[in-house]
Structures are given as C-alpha cells and as structure tokens.
Amino acid sequence: MRFLLSSALLLVCSGAFAAPTAITNVKGYHILAQSGLTQFDTLVFEQGKVLASGNADLLKQYPQAKVLDGKGETLLPGLIDAHGHLLGLGENLLQVDLRGLSSAHASAEEVKRYHRANPTLDWVVGRGWNQVLWPQKAFPTASQLDEFIPDTPVWLERVDGHAAWVNSKALKIAGITKDTLDPPGGQIIRDAQGNPTGVLIDNAMWLVAEHLPASDTTMMQASLNAATQHLLSLGITSMHDAGVNHQTYDFYQQQALNAQLQVRIYAMLSAADPKLTEMLEAGPIQDGQDMLWIRSVKGFADGALGSRGAAMLEAYSDDSHNHGLLLTPEADLPALFELVLSSGFQLNVHAIGDRGNRLVLDNFAQAYEKVGGQSLRNRIEHAQVVSLEDIPRFKDLNIIASMQPVHATSDMNMAEDRIGKARLKGAYAWQTFLKQGTVLAAGSDFPVELANAFHGLHAAVTREDHEGQPPGGWQPAERLSVEQALRAFTLDGAYAAHQEKVLGNLESGKWADFILIDRNIFEIPPAQIWQTQVQQTWVAGQQRFQRKE
C-alpha cells in the first residue's frame, strides 16, 4: 500500500501535543461489533483519536482535559455515506437544480431563469428532473427547452444520472440525427418518425457528454469545497466516492498531501477509465490521516429502474418489449472481474435489475474460481431488485449489499408499475439481507438523492415518505430498527471500506469523528427522524461545522 504523508500528519509527528478534550453531559450512542448499541455520557479524545468513552467518572482519569458541556444533546459517531458522488454533488450545488419540479414546462422555465442569471456560460448544465413526478409521466423533449433557450446548448441529467435531456442545439453539436445508431448499452429516444426527441438513455448520453466543457482544477476545487461544507452540515464525516476517473484520482491525492480534505474519502476507481490498469498497478493508496483511501473499483452492470435501464430477467411490466440495458457488455465482465480482483482491489459493481444482479453474482463466482479475491469484501452497489433465489448467494459469495434506503421511498410510487408485485418480493430487501448475515452498508447515492443521511435513516426505519405514506410503510417486513439503520450508516459502512479498525464507532484508538444532533433518534417517534438537525460536526477531534443560532 502506498502511503501519502500529509503536512497535517507531519505536524502531529513533530511533537505539537495538546491536552485531551472531554465532552460530557451528552446522550452518546454507538454500535460495538460484539455488544451492539452502547450508551455513554462522556467522550475523551486527544490528537484526533478517542481515548475513552463512558460515564462522567472518566473526567477523574484526565484531570488536565479541556471539558466541554454537551448540554444534554445526543452524540453519535460521524455518519458514513457508503455510496455517493462527491464532485457530482458539488457540481449539482453550483448548477441548475430541477429536483422536485412538477412538469417539463416548469423545469424549462427554471433553466431559463438560471441562464439569465449566468448569461456567459457556454453550456447550461443541470440535474434533477424526474418525469415520474409529472402529470403525464412522459419523457421531456428538446422542443420544450428550445422554446426558452434555442441558441445555447443545454444538458440536464435525470435525477438518477441515467438519462439526459438536451435541446436541439446540443443535438446539433453532437451530430445526432435520425440516422444516428443507438450505441451499445444506450438508447436515443425517438418520435414516431424516428427523429431524436432530446432524451438520451445511459451510454447514449456520451454522444453529447463528450462535448461538455472539460473539468479543470479550479472547477474541481469549487465543487469539492461546496460538497464538503454541505456534507459536514449534515453530519457526514466520511463518504465512499462511487467511481472516480484518473483526473480526480490525481486531484484527491494532491488534496490529501496538502491536508485540504475535511471529509474522509474512500474512492472507487472508475472501471471505464482508460488508465484503470495504470492506477491498479500503482497499488492501494492511504494517507496518514485516513482522509483518503483508494483500494477499490466501481463497475457497472446495468442502468436504473426509473429510466427502464435496469436489466431485467423478464420484460418490464409497463413496457412489454423492454428488458433494460447492460452498460458493460456481458462478454467484457469476466476480464474486468479478473483484472480487479487479481490486483487485490475490492470490486463494487452497480446492479439494479434482477438480471444485472445475477450477472454480477455469476461473475464473482467465476472470478473467485480463477483468481480468488473472496476476502476483499466485494460489493454490489444498489442490489435493488434481486431474484429471491439469488439473495442467498450474497452470503455464499461474501458480497456486501451496498444499498440506499431513500431509493425505496423515492421509487415506491413507480416500482410496482415497472416490475409488478411479484418481483417486489426481492426488491429493497434490507431486512432479508440482514437476517441471512449479509453486511448492509447504507448510503444515499447523492446527488441522485439528497445527501441528508437522516432522510436515509428515516426511510430505513419507516419505509414511509415524509408525509407518513403509506401508513405502516411500503413492504413493511423489510423495515430496519433504529439500531440496525445506524449500524449501516456507521460501523458497517466502515467495514465495507476495510476501515472498521479506525472508523465507524467511538472506541478507544479510533478517530474522534462525531456529531451532536438536536434530538434523540432512539426516543422520538420514528416518523420524525428525517427532521433531525446536526448542531456540530467534528472530524479527527476538530470541529468542522457549527449550526448558527
């Protein structure tokens, strides 16, 4: 493993020692691997690491400690989002946001307002539209954008990132016409005459995406800063970045060397990057402060359910000729699995449909026979719709289910339309996975969903939306307890990154990453968990966020 020694670590090693800090009068909770949920009222830490947690008698053992009054607030370990897109979140915070808008027309009007406020942009870029929320549930068209912005190219990603809505100017720049063929793993949506309508699914998105302005260090820095401050305000101290290219790989290492990272990053290399082999040959990377780890690869099997790109064993219930898409050709999967596992890197593969999940499981089984790698804690990202006969294979193959609870509450209004009631029995099956002993790592998939982990905790525990619908929860047998949900967002998130010895709870010797929140999630009605506000966020014993009064 290659270690990056940051300037912050060198300062610590030089002997700049401070007295311990103790925070007391808190309602502290964390999950211990053997004993489960454990409470404490005092936490003592020094030089970024936990010394001890327990009752107020600890203060007698550390008479020189600086004592902070927690004022009775609830203290939790820093939350770990096991699947997000850090720079994508930052970009989203800096671009036009279409999340939750009620129609294509309203979305186009919002794009126009953004364009008026930013008239010098070469492209108008945004994200968040979701046709499932619109009255006709139909895909939007280029002409709807042309009405407002005819002369500047527009690129708008669907909320799940698996489709793009563009205007005619963008189609012209990309040379997309009636005669353009669908690329493998992608689809150009067309009208009755075969003309492109302005929506591109999965791999077809690249036909336009390659013409977008190239990201540079200045843009990446602005995105990183915006995303970092946002995550810290939500109590997220560590995140797993699901698919970084070579440019981002270099950028993150430089940020770590300069001690500029304030949120911990467990980065997955993009399997699609042309320099994947070069990055694998460089070996795993870990900086001295555990702010950056790179020892995994993110691959893709299929698309997403909302855009009917998830690969299904049987046709979609609401589109009888459509079985979804494979983003990586089936014939290419064995070589990818063998390359990554033989390099000693964890492999984390996006699979949403039941066919996508089966293909990934099959390829893990075959790769284990050829090159080994079963001990690498490999993961299936999303594991959203799984055939009932395939669920036990997660346990047999030692596969971690990396899932996003908010996907269930976001998708529940369309999932049955897409796949019918029978296939829902293996969908968003969190409790079923846990009961068989599969490790469940929870995330949000931001910016596909909002980054607020308390929304994820709420969805995991209730399987209801914020209005309490449906009463009792959607597919309620798969609900989690608050303890199970917190574990998935802390200790098991750390385990899924090989980091349970340094993160995930507040045991002695681990990093002092913790948060103070405005309510006790173990005592309030579960329906209120999503309303939780983070008051303070600490990373390595340093306060990184304080909510303003």
- pLDDT per position as a tens digit, 405-438: 999 999 998 999 999 999 999 999 999 999 999 9
In this prediction, residue 120 carries a pLDDT of 84
Q: What whole-number distance in Å separates Cα of residue 6 and Cα of residue 199?
A: 45
Query: For residue range 167-182, what is the model confidence (pLDDT) as tens digits?
Result: 999 999 999 999 999 9
In this prediction, residue 13 carries a pLDDT of 45
| pLDDT at 260 exceeding the cut of 70 | yes
pTM value?
Answer: 0.87
Q: What whole-number distance in Å separates Cα of residue 445 and Cα of residue 132?
A: 19
Nearest to 430 by CA among 438, 422, 419, 420: 438
Nearest to 361 by CA among 394, 385, 388: 394
Query: For residue range 283-300, what is the model confidence (pLDDT) as tens digits?
Result: 999 999 999 999 999 999
Confidence of residue 6 (pLDDT cuts 50, 70, 90): low
In this prediction, residue 15 carries a pLDDT of 42
Confidence of residue 94 (pLDDT cuts 50, 70, 90): confident
| pLDDT at 82 exceeding the cut of 70 | yes
| pLDDT at 7 exceeding the cut of 70 | no
Query: For residue range 300-313, what is the model confidence (pLDDT) as tens digits?
Result: 999 999 889 999 99
In this prediction, residue 17 carries a pLDDT of 60
| pLDDT at 478 exceeding the cut of 50 | yes
- Provide the mean pLDDT of the chain: 95
In this prediction, residue 338 carries a pLDDT of 98
In this prediction, residue 1 carries a pLDDT of 77
SS (H, E, C) 189-237: EECCCCCEEEEEEEHHHHHHHCCCCCCCHHHHHHHHHHHHHHHHHCCEE
**Most confident listed range (209-213, 316-320, 540-544):** 540-544
Mean pLDDT score, 332-339 = 98
Query: For residue range 36-48, what is the model confidence (pLDDT) as tens digits?
Result: 999 999 999 999 9
Query: Which residues, in sequence order, are CB contacts of 201 under 8 Å at separation 6+?
Result: 162, 163, 186, 187, 188, 189, 303, 307, 308, 309, 325
Nearest to 459 by CA among 474, 441, 439: 474
Q: In 504-534, which positions are buried (b, 16+ CB within 10 angstroms) versus exposed (e)?
A: bbbbeebbbbbbbbeeebbeeebeebbebeb
In this prediction, residue 121 carries a pLDDT of 84
